[in-house]
Amino acid sequence: MFDIIYDVLINTIIHLTLWVFPLFGLSMGMSNVAGRLQKMISRVFGVRSYMLLFGWPGTLVHELSHTVTGLIFGHKIENFNVYLLGGRNGKAGSVRLRHNPESYYQRLGNFFIAMAPIFGGAAVIYLTAVVLIPDLPAVPAVQSGSIWSFASEMNDYLLALRDTLIQLCKNNLKSTALFLYIAASVGSGMRMSVTDMKKTVPGCFILAGLFLLFHLLRHTIGEKIHIPVVLSESMIHIYTAIIAAMILNLILTAMFFVILKIRSAFSSKSR
Amino acid sequence: MNERLTLSMTFQMDSHEIILIITYFEETLIYIKNNMIKNDPGMVETYSLGFQPQVF
């Protein structure tokens, strides 16, 4: 009996460690980098120009991600706002959703709704890359499932992605500019506030409960049930897209930092 | 309608595909607009995106 409880608990913790905690880590990292990118673009262009040029498309993707995920989980929309030039109190956009607190499904939805802009933004950047970048390297398919093999394949993938981007820049400046514009615009909106983070907590407990139930069922009816391979592969795709988007955002932040420095050097010379 | 729009030197997209993407996008926004509900029982959660405070 003790062995079963131990096994169920360990497997639940492993699943949470592999599936849920990296999402939290990546979401926090992405939010931080996206915030820096937004700050840097705002310094270069000014806040209103940032909103008009880059802010609103990113905000639209951000709020649409919340809303569409909300609809999937049965939430009702009460309000949907995207401000073209930025609203009052420094707001770029907002969405108000209503759910039934007695429904576990709808409460689980809060976890995914809060994190949706990270997934939605990564998906839009990935789709833009598929459309605009020819010969996009294939996302690594990790067979052994170990963290180190994933890290090694991820490294190879990012190097291949870098080479493809350099090649695209040499061959087709228009596509590169369009891709970088969409990446900067959508990337700067891939942020989660602290309140959004807090909203994921109840859903996280329900998710942990589901994993626990799954492993208990496996012990009861044997090894007949499995987590579908497509789900594990989708997680790898999501991690890869977020990591690639994060690195892209870092590169864009560095680019805007250089533009800012060049501009301030010129303005100090003219004085 | 069927002519191909050249978006880049290496990538070509059918005008139908572009119109389809725009239509999906528009339909989603119309669906959101038509399905807004006021004063329904339940718990409200507001998700908002703000500017970084240190910028201002």
Summarize pLDDT for A120-130 with one digit per residue, the tens. Answer: 888 888 888 88
Q: Is the pLDDT of residue B39 over 80?
A: no
Residue A83: predicted pLDDT: 82
Give me the mean pLDDT over the A210-231 stretch.
Answer: 77
**Percent of chain A clearing pLDDT 70 (strictly above):** 91
Residue B52: predicted pLDDT: 55
Most confidently predicted of A8-12, A17-21, A135-139: A8-12
Chain B touched by A117 (CB under 8 Å): yes
DSSP-assigned letters across all residues of chain A: -HHHHHHHHHHHHHHIIIIIHHHHHHHHHHHHHHHHHHHHHHHHH-HHHHIIIIIHHHHHHHHHHHHHHHHHTT-EEEEEEE-SS--GGGEEEEEEEEE-TT-HHHHHHHHHHHHHHHHHHHHHHHHHHHHH-TTPPPPP--SS--HHHHHHHHHHHHHHHHHHHHHHHHH-HHHHHHHHHHHHHHHTT----HHHHHHHHHHHHHHHHHHHHHHHHHHHH-TT----HHHHHHHHHHHHHHHHHHHHHHHHHHHHHHHHHHHHHHHHHH-
CB pairs under 8 A between A and B: 120
3-state helix, strand, coil in chain B (%, to 5): 40, 25, 30
Q: Side chain identity at A97, as an amino acid letter?
A: L
Question: Smallest Cβ distance to A90: which of B28, B37, B51?
Answer: B51
Residue B14: predicted pLDDT: 61
Distance CA A41, CA A188 (A): 9
Q: Is the pLDDT of residue B15 over 70?
A: no
Which A residues in the span 169-228 are in contact with B, Cβ-Cβ below 8 Å?
171-172, 174-175, 178, 189, 191, 193, 196, 199
Residue B41: predicted pLDDT: 77
Question: Smallest Cβ distance to A76: which of B40, B52, B53?
Answer: B40
Helix (H) or strand (E) holding B14, with range, is: strand B12-14
DSSP strand pairing (B12-14 vs B43-50): unpaired
Euclidean distance between the first and final Cα of chain B, in Å? 47
Chain B touched by A249 (CB under 8 Å): no
pLDDT band at B56 (very low <50, low <70, confident <90, very high): very low
Summarize pLDDT for A52-102 with one digit per residue, the tens. Answer: 888 888 889 999 999 999 999 999 998 888 887 766 677 788 899 999 988
What are the chain B neighbours of A93 within 8 Å (beta carbons)?
A: 48-49
Q: What DSSP designation does B53 have?
A: G
Q: What is the pTM of this model?
A: 0.79
Q: Tell me phi and psi for residue A164, to 5 degrees.
A: -65, -45
Distance CA A181, CA A199 (A): 31
Residue A142 · residue A150 · CB < 8 Å: yes
pLDDT band at A257 (very low <50, low <70, confident <90, very high): very high
Give me the mean pLDDT over the A243-249 stretch.
Answer: 84
Token pair in block for residue A66 = 């919340």
pLDDT band at B8 (very low <50, low <70, confident <90, very high): very low
Is the ipTM of this structure higher than 0.85? Answer: no
Residue B4: predicted pLDDT: 47
Q: Side chain identity at B6, as an amino acid letter?
A: T
Give me the mean pLDDT over the B2-30 stretch.
Answer: 65
Residue A56 · residue A90 · CB < 8 Å: no
Average per-residue pLDDT in chain A?
82
- ∠ CA A255-A197-A65 to the nearest 5 degrees? 65
